[in-house]
Homo-oligomer: A and B are copies of this chain.
Amino acid sequence: MRQSKLFTKTIKDAPKDEVSLNAQLLIRGGFIEKLAAGIYSYLPLGLRTLRKVQSVVRDEMDAIDGQEILMPALTPKENWEKTDRWDNFDALYKLQGVNKKDYALGATHEEIVTPLAKKFISSYKDLPMALYQIQDKFRNEVRAKSGLMRGREFSMKDLYSFHVDEADLDSYYEKAKKAYYNVFQRCGLKAYIVEASGGAFTDFSHEYQVFTEYGEDEVYFCKECDRHQNKELVEKGEIKCPYCGAEREVKKAIEVGNIFKLMTRFSNPFNVKYVDKNGKEQDVIMGTYGIGPSRVMGAVVEVHHDDSGIVWPEEIAPYKVHLLALGNDDKVKQESDNLYEKLVSAGVEVLYDDRDDSAGIKFSDSDLLGLPYRVVISKKTLAENQVELKKRNEEKSEMVNLDKIIDTLK
């Protein structure tokens, strides 16, 4: 992409009404734009990163036999009444359409996926089954001040699994844990698995928490036994680990995913049963697994930035390379155009700063946008038939021959 064609521009000053660092940097870089509290538009660079996070998630869900579907956001009241959540689910947006028909905006989709799955489950041969979608969710949050980390509308991947018994759910739950680990690692996040409340049906659910001083959650972190707990589980002052007795550290954290054994919480109200090998009807056992791709994007910015801007991990950067042409020299323009075309042909994702701006503006924009590799062409580098190559997350730069740079970046 030629930057001269990109409609967004960087903004010098952070917007005053945004207190969170992720929103400040993402808005200044032109990745997102704020429409209202907790509600953002994704602009071209931000949409590319969001899609890459979603694509990592999709990969890993496909790898554990998830089948992708897409459920509506407009969901009928009846479904929520069946599970007693119409009045009891916090933060449900409700609205009424023609014929006084009531809907909730999908805040989660157990109420929709369970009766959907029921239509295709009759025998044990139909199980296990795992369905997921990637879609915007809506939550009527009282406070929405953390940028992409707590939105009123936000991107969500929700996976639901259906099993013949608890043992099969347990084995799938472990697979999902590994898939989640892969997702966060590929997105450049070190996420810890943390015990959280399990509701009435199971001991614990599990959250994936990323430690950062800007986090909204508090985690009791045990260095000895690797079993960490969300604050909500911890009795006042219970600083020692209940498993190994070690002292624990209280850390601020961002929740980027959660997994939950639902057991029969939703299959019962919708009467989802299967016929087992002996011809006997049995309850279907369920699990639910969530990751917020937009929240992951926000968390990545909270974790990966410096004073000059964002430092995108390579797999989710909007482009891999930022090519900067410095000065108005004709030869620089020509060689930069050339290199740009060659990189595109070689399949390298490159943002090409071909604007008529000063070197100062180009360098500071480049740091703010945070693409992994910066390639600078100037009269000076061309005198040696070279370009300057610098990684965003390293201080040092190196000179690379023009005819070697494409292979280096491929």
Which A positions have Cβ atoms within 8 angstroms of B?
Answer: 5-9, 33, 35-36, 39-44, 47, 50, 65, 67-76, 93-95, 97-98, 101, 105, 112, 116-117, 119-120, 126, 129, 131, 136, 138, 140-142, 152-153
Contact = CB atoms under 8 A, between A and B. Distances in A.
B72 A33 contact: no
B73 A6 contact: no
B71 A116 contact: no
A138 B42 CA distance: 19
B95 A95 contact: yes
Which secondary structure characterizes the binding site on chain A?
mixed
Given A44-B69, A68-B47, A94-B95, A39 B74 contact: yes
B152 A36 contact: no
9 contacts: A7-B67, A40-B72, A41-B112, A43-B69, A44-B68, A74-B152, A93-B95, A93-B97, A98-B141
A126 B73 contact: no
A105 to B, nearest CB: 8
Number of copies: 2
A153 B74 contact: yes
A403 B275 CA distance: 43
A47 B69 contact: yes
A105 B138 CA distance: 11
Nearest to A78: B36
Nearest to A41: B71
Q: Top 8 closest A-B pairs, CB basis?
A: A95-B95, A42-B70, A41-B71, A74-B153, A39-B72, A97-B140, A72-B153, A36-B76
A117 B43 CA distance: 11
B98 A140 contact: yes
Given A41-B72, A70-B42, A73-B153, A120 B9 contact: yes
A67 to B, nearest CB: 5
Nearest to A151: B72
Given A33-B116, A40-B72, A74-B105, 15 more contacts: A7-B67, A7-B120, A35-B76, A36-B74, A36-B76, A36-B101, A39-B76, A41-B72, A42-B70, A44-B69, A72-B153, A74-B138, A93-B97, A95-B95, A136-B136
Contact of A69 (B42, B76, B142): B42
A154 to B, nearest CB: 10
Contacts of A140: 97-98
A98 B141 CA distance: 7
Contacts of A72: 35, 39-41, 136, 153
Contacts of A44: 67-69
A1 to B, nearest CB: 9
A42 B133 CA distance: 10
B68 A35 contact: no
A129 to B, nearest CB: 5
A120 B36 CA distance: 18
A116 B41 contact: yes
Nearest to A50: B70
Contacts of A47: 68-70
Contacts of A9: 120
Contacts of A8: 120
Contacts of A73: 73, 136, 138, 153
